[in-house]
Amino acid sequence: MSFESLGLMAELHRAVSEKGYSEPTPIQKQAIPVVLEGRDLMGGAQTGTGKTAGFTLPLLQRLMETSQPHKGRRPLRALVLTPTRELAAQVAESVRDYGKHLPLRSTVVFGGVSINPQKQKLIKGVDILVATPGRLLDHVSQRSVDLSKIDILVLDEADRMLDMGFIHDIKKVLALVPKKKQTLLFSATFSSEIKKLANSLLNSPALVEVARQNAATDTVTQVIHPVDKSRKRELLSYLIGSNNWQQVLVFTRTKHGANRLAQQLEKDGISAAAIHGNKSQGARTRALADFKSGAVRVLVATDIAARGIDIDQLPHVVNYELPNVAEDYVHRIGRTGRAGNEGEAMSLVCVDELKLLKDIEKLIKRDIPQSVIEGFEPDPSIKAEPINRGRGGQRGGARGGQNGGQNSGQKRRPQARRKPAAGKNPRPGKNARRRNNNGNQVRNAA
């Protein structure tokens, strides 16, 4: 089956060919015809299966087919919501690439960067907007965007958005868009929360699932390397050096751990950079660009990178620490083995993490092969120590959490204000200026 046989217009087929694609993936084969019919869709697919093109291509065609003459600023007609900055940027790039031969305008907005350049683009008028929920609502409050003419609404990675506490922002957005519209909801997992959201949001949706839920693609080879916690860094450096790996994505549980590991790898003579929610957007963009270009061999990330970072033919993913939530393991290793390419996912597992490993194997319904590296055999006398299993501990705080999102759903403890010393006037500090400039910090974290 070709893209032409799916009913896509010549301009889109040309753009797809220029990207080097000749045959649609399973999710594209099933989703594109449904979207072209104008139906609501609930789609489930493994990461790396071409889901973004599955909704972007027919979305572009639908806008062209239903376009009408307008006076003044062109109305915003399509809105794509994503949970993270990186995923928003990736989707926006796909919209530009696939729509390059069409007279449609698009832009992307997310927090962590100045809002003014975004306002200028929105005020000029765009047809398609890709956004994180918090920054979108910032623009709504500043009246730089009007959602009353939306024809197509896409919720990408809906499970992740709910997991990161976006439901209140999503409800605010839903109250601003027309009730009569086409809605596309994509999710890797269909939890009870997702199904509840779908029932309230979608109108008799078609259901497309191209693979069983919570499963890694067959192109990813998985292996467990048992090792003592104190020797993980040493083993990681050994694996990278002895195998001459040139591009490795490494996951840690915490932001501090990502920073520390990147520094330790640098001391071992391995170029590395860290990426997480406490990094500025500029630092995150530079780290990812250096990793893609080969300027650094290792990108150490928290789960902010589990979705939304698309790296062509990434060969190696390493779980330096297993995630607290088993589903995140699937999304982590899904960064490799994409678009039919083969990939390798290794996990360095200490005795503390055996329960986490059991949860992962239960989720994916298979045992992961284990291989002890000679010279790094774990000490059987070491006893397991408890790991913080709280989701808040894994996700980071509500403000600028490691996922780069807005609201983690956690309540913040009120902090007592310090009174100024007698005879001194209180002076607004750096944090106060930031609040005055950016408004809601939680929202702008994404």
- Which DSSP string corresponds to 160-196? HHHHTT-HHHHHHHHTTS-SSSEEEEE-SS--HHHHH
Measure the CA–CA gap between 293 and 288, rounded to whole angstroms: 9
Identical fold between 4-209 and 216-446: yes
pLDDT tens-digit map of 334-357 = 888 765 678 899 999 999 999 999
Q: How confident is the model at residue 21 (pLDDT cuts 50, 70, 90)?
A: confident
73-77, 240-244, 413-417: lowest mean pLDDT where?
413-417
Partnered with residue 41 across adjacent β-strands are 184, 206
Amino acid at 417: R
Measure the CA–CA gap between 366 and 442, rounded to whole angstroms: 39
CATH number at 216-446: 3.40.50.300
pLDDT score of 325: 84
Q: Domain 4-209 falls in which CATH fold? A: Rossmann fold (3.40.50)
- Secondary structure of residue 382 in the 3-state scheme: coil
Residue 96: other Cβ atoms inside 10 A: 18
Looking at the predicted structure, is the pLDDT value of residue 373 above 70? Answer: yes
Averaged pLDDT, 440-445: 40
Cβ–Cβ < 8 Å for 274, 301: yes
Measure the CA–CA gap between 209 and 204, rounded to whole angstroms: 16
Instruction: Tell me which H or E stretch contains 356.
Output: helix 354-364
Looking at the predicted structure, is the pLDDT value of residue 105 above 80? Answer: yes
pLDDT tens-digit map of 32-70 = 999 999 999 999 876 667 889 999 999 999 999 988 776
- Based on its alpha-carbon atoms, the radius of gyration of the chain, rounded to whole angstroms, reads 23
> Higher-confidence residue: 440 or 127?
127
Largest CA distance in the chain: 79
Measure the CA–CA gap between 60 and 247, rounded to whole angstroms: 34
Q: How confident is the model at residue 306 (pLDDT cuts 50, 70, 90)?
A: low
Domain boundaries, the chain: 4-209, 216-446
Looking at the predicted structure, is the pLDDT value of residue 402 above 70? Answer: no
Looking at the predicted structure, is the pLDDT value of residue 98 above 70? Answer: yes
- Which DSSP string corresponds to 111-149? SSS-SHHHHHHHHH--SEEEE-HHHHHHHHHTT----TT
Averaged pLDDT, 77-84: 94
Measure the CA–CA gap between 186 and 164, rounded to whole angstroms: 16
Averaged pLDDT, 127-154: 96
Averaged pLDDT, 156-185: 89
Cβ–Cβ < 8 Å for 304, 89: no
Q: Which residues of 44-79 are buried (b: 16+ CB within 10 A; e: fewer)?
A: bbbbbbbbbbbbbbbbbbbbbeeeeeeeeeebbbbb
Tally the residues of the chain.
Answer: 446
Whole-number percent of the chain with pLDDT over 70: 80
Looking at the predicted structure, is the pLDDT value of residue 278 above 90? Answer: no
**CB contact set of 203 (below 8 Å; sequence gap of 6+):** 40, 183
The pTM of the whole model exceeds 0.95:
no
pLDDT score of 303: 80
Q: Within 13 A of 12's CA, how many CA atoms are on the CB side?
A: 26
Long-range contacts of 116-123, Cβ-Cβ distance < 8 Å, separation of 24 or more: 118/144, 119/144, 122/76, 123/73
H helical segments located in 294-325: none
Q: How confident is the model at residue 391 (pLDDT cuts 50, 70, 90)?
A: very low
pLDDT score of 407: 35
22-26, 206-210, 387-391: lowest mean pLDDT where?
387-391
- Secondary structure of residue 407 in the 3-state scheme: coil
Amino acid at 439: G
Measure the CA–CA gap between 150 and 199, rounded to whole angstroms: 20
- Secondary structure of residue 6 in the 3-state scheme: helix
